[in-house]
Every structure is written in C-alpha cells, then in structure tokens.
Amino acid sequence: MAWWCFASVTPGLEESLAAELSELGVEGRTETGGVLFQAELPVLYRVQLRSRVAARVTVRVGRFRADQYDALATRVRQLPWKRFVHPRQPLVVRATSHQSRLRHRDAVERKVSLAIGDSLKGPRLPGPRPPREPALVVVRAVKDMVDISVDASGDGLHRRGWRKATGRAPIRENLAAGILWRAGWRPGEPLVDPMCGSGTFAIEAACWARGLAPGRGRSFACERWPTHDRKAWQREVSRAGGGRVRTPILAADRSGEAVRDARSNARRAGIHDDVSWEVSTASKLEPPGRLGEGDKPGLVVVNPPYGKRLETGNASRVYRDLGRALRAHWRGWRLAVLVPDRRLLGPLGISGLESETQFRNGGVRVSLAVGLIGDGA
Ligand SMILES: C[S@@+](CC[C@H](N)C(=O)[O-])C[C@H]1O[C@@H](n2cnc3c(N)ncnc32)[C@H](O)[C@@H]1O
C-alpha cells in the first residue's frame, strides 16, 4: 500500500532534497519545507536510511475538512491508527492551525489524542509490551483542511550517531549535506574545509564518498510500527552501502581543540583516515601536496564564525582575511561560503559569487554563496 510521505528540510534547501530523492528513485513534489512523495514501506525505509539531506519523514494518516472539534474527533477515530501506534503506547500530538476554525492548538491536540486512544481500544491481548518511546502525531489545520501525519523518523535524521563532540556552533549534518548538494559537490571532487569546527562537512563528505548510509548507525520510529516489515527493512539495510569513490578531503581549524573533537567524531563515523586533519589558521592553509596525481582543484566549503553564535569581534575582518587567503592560495578552486549577511561578501572580495540560497542555520538566517575563486574582487 502506498502512503503519502513528506520529507522535510530547512526551507531554502528543498531543491537539493528533491534532487537527492530523485537519485534514490523517488520522484516527489517540492513544497515549502520539503518534498511530498508517494511510497510503499520499502521506499520509505530507503529514504530514511539513505537521505543525507532530509530532516525528518512523516507519513500522512488522513486528510479531511473539519471546522468543529467533534467532527475532528469523529474523523480521527476512523483513521487506521493500528498500523502505526500500539495500544497503550505513549502519544505526543503536535498541532498547528492557520486560518482555521479549529484555532486552539491545545484543544486540537487533546481531541486528537483522545480520539486516537479511542480508536486503539480493544480487549487487552497478550503479547509484547508497547514501545516506551512515544509515537509522534503531527496535525496541521490550514483553512479548515486537516492533515494528520505520523512521524517515521524518531530522532531528527541529522542525528547520524557519530556526533558527540561539538564545537560551539556546529552545522547540522543534513544541512551540511544539503549545502554540498547545492554547491554541486559529488564524491571524487577534492574538498577542503579550512574552518572545520566539529568536522561536519568533512565527515559528511567522507561518508558519502565511502557510500556509507547516513542512517546505518541509528534506529527509526517506523521500526516500532505494528506494521513494520522486518524483511523489507533488512533488504533496504543490506542495499544501503557500497560504492566507494576516492576523494581527497582536508579539514583544518585554528583551534586544536576543535580538530581533536572533529577527529573523534570522524573516528565514530568510521572515516577518520579518509580525511587529512590540520591545526592551522585559514590564512596559512594551502592546497596540499597531499592531493594525488591527476587531482584537479575542488571545492572549498566554509562556514566562518559569525556574531550571533560566536563572539567574533569584527565579522568583516574575518571575511576579509579569509578572502585574502582564498585569493592567495586557492585560485581555480570553487568556493561555497555561508554568510549571515550578504554585505560580508564585499570584504570577502571574491568576484562572481552567486548568493541565491537562503535558509536558517541554528536560528540565524544565512546565505550560501557559490562560485569560482579567481584573482580578485
Ligand atoms: C562556525 S564554526 C564552524 C562550524 C563547523 N562547520 C561545524 O559544523 O562544526 C567556525 C570555526 O572557525 C574556526 N576559525 C575561526 N577563525 C579561524 C581562522 N582564521 N582560521 C581557521 N579557523 C578559524 C573556529 O575555531 C570555529 O571552529
């Protein structure tokens, strides 16, 4: 049976997610904040295990018109909850409402929660205990149309399981992957992150180049569904890896502590030796002789520190120094740089950067600028 599924992502990176899903054989419709697609369980499993860019996947249980709380409860009771929720499993319902008569979020959440409980009632059967983890149900009411979905992911998909040590402003793993997609990076192209912090870009890229599925080391809410198909799951798990592509990757930071943390993250991810690690300021870092014979310039990806999240003193000085270093040592390489304010592209002084993609990173609006590092401004 095919279900409507929604893979979400930070608004701004929907096209990257749609392109990635298409490579996984899933054609969907891009909407604000994600991609809507129809899938049977094996394909849902594949997306969860292998999408690097998605933040979460939900499955639509029902969609109907309702403008009264009792009508809402009646419709919710008729939905196939037994497929997704165990009797007596704890339940968390989160509702949003826009231009709808069901305007009180709390009331919607209470009604839906009670109605799901009613629909799961029945004689108490012997068998395994219900999972302790709550099932998450998401309700969206927009202009009296109600969309009810159940979460298939559990923890956000950015939680790959390798991150323990974080710098002060790590980028989420799925955002890092989305940025690499947006910048057109693919395994095989050399990658350098001169301000690597906890190592997110380098680790994501190295796992990708090794063909390691991002979901290989974690569990998902859909594994706890009463209708979970273990055989189909195992099939997708066994297909989820493979296809290593040799890819030179260099990660550096001026902070020895950051590099130490990044290296222990990389060890947990199983790709430590696929990355060259260096403690260096960006101004001293150069394309290394470590690039192998025949390697062409690749992509410099950089997420410099900025005001709100890190006390940097003078942000424009950081960007000016970075720009100077990039022009001096990295001419001919492509650049993907995150800027909290497009005016900082001025001090960066790299001409021809396109700054189209905007999204939120840890609550801060940022732009992603991509282009070629040439001679000057
Ligand atoms: C926003 S954090 C990068 C976060 C990283 N993308 C992650 O996911 O963890 C910025 C990093 O730049 C480093 N940094 C700041 N100025 C630097 C410089 N001049 N050269 C090298 N690294 C620098 C900081 O130590 C910090 O780890």
Q: Give the pTM.
A: 0.94
Nearest residue (by CA) to ligand 1, atom 26, is 197
Can you say how many angstroms the Cα of residue 134 is from the centroid of all Cα atoms in its chain?
Answer: 22
Nearest residue (by CA) to ligand 1, atom 1, is 305
Q: In which residue ranges of the chain is CATH 3.30.2130.30 found? A: 3-151
d(CA 122, CA 111): 19
Give the ligand 1 atom nearest the CA of 168: 2
CATH of domain 3-151: 3.30.2130.30
Q: For a substitution probing ligand 1, which of 164, 174, 179, 253 has the most ligand atoms within 8 Å of its CB?
A: 253
Nearest residue (by CA) to ligand 1, atom 10, is 305
Give the Å distances, CA to CA, from 245 to 25, 239, 249.
21, 17, 12
Give the ligand 1 atom nearest the CA of 171: 8
| DSSP assignments along 17-81, one per residue | HHHHHHHTT---EEETTEEEEEE-HHHHHHHHHH-SS-SEEEEEEEEEE--SHHHHHHHHHTS-G
The CB of 171 under 6 Å from ligand 1? The reply is yes
Q: 308: CA distance to ligand 1 center in Å?
A: 14
Give the ligand 1 atom nearest the CA of 309: 1
d(CA 87, CA 312): 52
pLDDT tens-place values along the chain, 377 residues long: 899 999 999 999 999 999 999 999 999 999 999 999 999 999 999 999 999 999 999 999 999 999 999 999 999 999 999 999 999 999 999 999 999 999 999 999 999 999 999 999 877 766 778 899 999 999 999 999 999 999 999 999 999 999 986 656 799 999 999 999 999 999 999 999 999 999 999 999 999 999 999 999 899 999 999 999 999 999 999 998 888 899 999 999 999 999 999 999 999 999 999 999 999 999 999 987 655 556 689 999 999 987 654 444 478 889 999 999 999 999 999 999 999 888 889 999 999 898 779 999 888 899 999 999 986 65
Superfamily of domain 173-216+241-372: Vaccinia Virus protein VP39 (3.40.50.150)
Backbone angles phi, psi at 43, to 5 degrees: -75, -40
First-to-last alpha carbon distance for the chain, in angstroms, is: 56
Q: In which residue ranges of the chain is CATH 3.40.50.150 found? A: 173-216+241-372
Can you say how many angstroms the Cα of residue 96 is from the centroid of all Cα atoms in its chain?
Answer: 22
d(CA 185, CA 360): 21
* Whether 105 contacts 63, CB under 8 Å: no
Closest CA to 26 of 40, 8, 11: 40
Per DSSP, the three-state class of 219 is coil
Which run of H or of E encompasses 195?
none
d(CA 154, CA 57): 9
How many CB atoms sit inside 10 A of residue 16's CB?
Answer: 22
Give the ligand 1 atom nearest the CA of 258: 27
Packed helices 256-269 and 200-210: angle between N→C axes, nearest 10 degrees:
30
Give the ligand 1 atom nearest the CA of 310: 1
Q: 338: CA distance to ligand 1 center in Å?
A: 12
